[in-house]
Amino acid sequence: MTMQYYQQARLIVLGLCLTTLIGDTSAGNILAVFPHFGFSHFKVVQPLLSELAQRGHHVTVISYVKNPLAAQLPNYEQLLTSDANEDQASTTINVVPLAEHTPTRSLPVLLKEYYDLFSEGQTTCGRLYASGHVATVLERHKEQPYDLLLTEYFSNDCQLALAKLMQLPIIGVSTCALMPYFYDRIDLPDNPAYVQSEFVGFAQPLLWHERLLNFVQAKLLKLLYKLHTNRADQKLIKQHLAIDIDVDEVARDQTAFILVNQHYSHMGSRPVTPQLIEVGGMHITSDAKKHLPQEVEQFLQRSPQGVIFISWGSMVRASSIDADKLQAMLQVLSQQPLNVIWKWETDEHPQVDANKFLFVKWAPQLALLCQPRVKLFWAHAGLLGMTEALHCGKPLLMTPIYGDQFLNAYAAQQRGVGLKLDYEQINVTTLQETLQELSHANYAVSAEKLSQVFNGRQRTPLESAIWSVEHVLQHGLFATKLLQSPGIELNWFIYHSLDSIAILLVLVLLIIASWRALFPAQSKRQSKAQTQQRAGKKSRK
Ligand SMILES: *[C@@H]1O[C@H](CO)[C@@H](O)[C@H](O)[C@H]1NC(C)=O
């Protein structure tokens, strides 16, 4: 009897040893490079990085934004490109004044937006290389090789030098709608007749001039990105590492997956390849649904009829709103039945009835949105807030300010879960009408139905992301090559079948020419007869 127990115990110990051994050997060494300064960008990947560390992988994270949990996470090393003492509450959030809103999506506006993103990207790259962390990880790679580069595909590729030098497969994360530059990397169809880029944003179906703009920007911005942004990336790489690297080629050769922060139920169905993984909602974790601050909790208790939650995102400074628009908002909001919780980042907020209005500097948005008493979310249509509203099933009033927000807002409006009210259109009349319309039950019903589809996944978005990372960790560049479309190797002439079309055209022309050569008399007689016939008809008239 005791012997049996002893043997069982031995088996268990052996088993445990084996699992730790296997666990250890399958643990990957991940290099994560997310140098963009925006909090909302880093927020999307933070749960993925944390979860990877929890699962036993070693994660070296080069980022601008601090992960507050970094010190507590096992195997998680944080290398900041920002000053460690920097007060990130003022540098990574509330950085966009409302004056920067872009009301029209015309070509000049898009080009300006491209240029702003380019400048931002180059600042990010400069900071990344100046931080010394690139040299650090390159050095470390010699001792403890990295297995994977996990990085953001947004407005620069200077970090891809690391993938080239270490020969790593790449997983790119797009924290917003996929930029037009990255489709070709994985041969993802972007038919401009209906697939809209991050830069535009129209209601479907597109009108002829919208399709024209969508077509032009898709081609033009891709070209600009290659000739302008990537050249600047390469110049910087040469300056710091003294080597010539074609970053676009590296991206095509070594990208295994692109994880994109969107979901078809919101952004629409479209053809995808196995390299694109939709992880919209990845940042929504049970952790993020933690308790509300006491003042918010109490305010909700005092609002039996429900509340409108107003938040124009972490990047936009709500307090930079124009005086007349603020006046109109306060007037209309005071007169309607719901109470109001408003994300307002400064100490001085409008002096209004404190029973009806609560101003909060920072709201745990997800936790708040999922509260049954929140009846309407007035958002700026940034992707994170939109995703959270979709998850919680709340109707939306949307005032897009810049970037992909127009696209996100139209997509939600199309699905009947909200209405878009442009910033420059806000006045007493328009706001009253919009709120009146949104009070109809159909918006709440559609939001609830959409939420069920959005949440009804085969795997949670975080699980999908983890799977893709571990798949590449396990199978490396071998799996990457299997995933890649042969289309990325082809030149444009062959890719669009112009060679086949050209051959067929030549054949048709040859047939016509030989017909004419073989039966010259017949064709001449025919044409003569035709001319006479026509002439006859004319003279009779
Ligand atoms: C409010 O804005 C709408 C749309 O821009 C405009 O037609 C209307 O005249 C404005 N109303 C007032 C009272 O300013």
pLDDT of the chain, 541 residues: tens digit per residue: 444 555 555 544 444 444 444 444 579 999 999 999 988 899 999 999 999 999 999 999 999 999 988 889 989 999 999 998 888 877 666 667 777 777 677 899 899 999 999 999 999 999 999 999 999 999 999 999 999 999 999 999 999 999 999 999 999 999 998 999 999 999 999 999 999 988 888 889 999 999 999 999 999 999 999 999 999 999 999 999 999 999 999 999 999 999 999 999 999 999 999 999 999 999 998 776 677 899 999 999 999 999 999 998 877 777 888 999 999 999 999 999 999 999 988 888 999 999 999 999 887 899 999 999 999 999 999 999 999 999 999 999 999 988 889 999 999 999 999 999 999 999 999 999 999 999 999 999 999 999 999 999 999 999 999 999 999 999 999 999 999 999 999 999 999 999 999 999 999 999 999 999 998 866 566 666 666 666 666 555 4
Residue 197's pLDDT is what?
84
Domains and CATH numbers, the chain: 27-280+460-489 (3.40.50.2000), 287-455 (3.40.50.2000)
- Burial of 511-528, coded b for 16+ CB within 10 Å and e otherwise, reads eeeeeeeeeeeeeeeeee
Output the CA 65–ligand 1 centroid distance in Å.
41
Output the CA 400–ligand 1 centroid distance in Å.
18
Output the CA 427–ligand 1 centroid distance in Å.
6
Return the residue matching tokens 């010394």: 132
Name the amino acid, one letter, at 116.
D
Q: 30 with 58: CB under 8 angstroms?
A: yes
Atom of ligand 1 nearest to the CA of 424: 5
Output the CA 310–ligand 1 centroid distance in Å.
22
Question: Which residues have C-beta atoms less than 6 Å from ligand 1?
Answer: 425, 427-430
| 56 to 49, 66, 488: CA distances (angstroms) | 11, 21, 34
Which residue's CA lies nearest to atom 9 of ligand 1? 429
Tell me which of 422, 425, 427 to substitute to probe ligand 1's pocket, judged by most ligand atoms within 8 Å of the beta carbon.
427
Which residue's CA lies nearest to atom 5 of ligand 1? 425
Q: E strand or H helix at 124, and its extent? A: helix 107-130
Q: How far apart are CA 128 and CA 526, in angstroms?
A: 76
Q: How far apart are CA 440 and CA 377, in angstroms?
A: 15
Output the CA 276–ligand 1 centroid distance in Å.
43
Q: 232 with 221: CB under 8 angstroms?
A: no
Atom of ligand 1 nearest to the CA of 427: 1
Gyration radius from the chain CA atoms: 29
For residue 400, say if its preceding peptide bond is cis, omega within 30 degrees of 0.
Answer: no
Q: Quick one: the chain helix, strand, coil %, rounded to 5?
A: 55, 10, 30
Atom of ligand 1 nearest to the CA of 425: 5
